[in-house]
Amino acid sequence: NAVSGGKPELTAAWYYRVNYRPVPVDRLLNGETQNVAVGNAVLHCLHTPGHTPGGISPYLDVKGTRILFGQDIHGPFDSSWGSNMEQWRDSMRKLINLNADILCEGHFGIYKPA
């Protein structure tokens, strides 16, 4: 995989001009959704391929507020790393249906209603 294998074409190391070192993976996620306990919270890891085949969009519910971590949901897209626009559209529908209250997007900031 990209993380443990350190493949520069899949980690974007080439894009950011960094020397990526492989990192051991403690846990592989499988299926449509996998829940991961983090302290007293549950992080729901939703499989959202499109940007990349193994993409996930984790979310959690805290005191009635749903927080979505949508890293790379906007792209970029490139077939060399497995981007698939049809899968991306399906993934975006899943995310919209979550009705998240807050979106934490790694490249563009945090969005919440005023």
pLDDT by 10s per residue, the chain, length 114: 778 887 777 777 877 788 888 889 888 898 999 999 999 999 999 999 998 888 999 999 999 999 999 877 888 888 888 899 999 999 999 999 999 999 998 778 899 887
Domain CATH number, residue 56 = 3.60.15.10
Residues 19 and 35 in one domain: no
Same domain, 86 and 63: yes
* Structural domain total, the chain: 2
Q: What is the 3-state secondary structure (H, E, C) of 5-55?
A: HCCHHHHCHHHHCCCCCCCCCCCCCCCCEEEEEECCEEEEEEECCCCCCCC
How much is the pTM?
A: 0.85
Per-residue pLDDT tens digits for 5-16: 877 777 778 777
Do 17 and 50 fall within a single domain? no
**Residue given tokens 């520069």 in the structure block:** 8
Residue 104, beta-bridge partner list:
69, 110
Nearest to 102 by CA among 74, 60, 73: 60
Q: What residue numbers bound the domain in which 18 lies?
A: 1-27
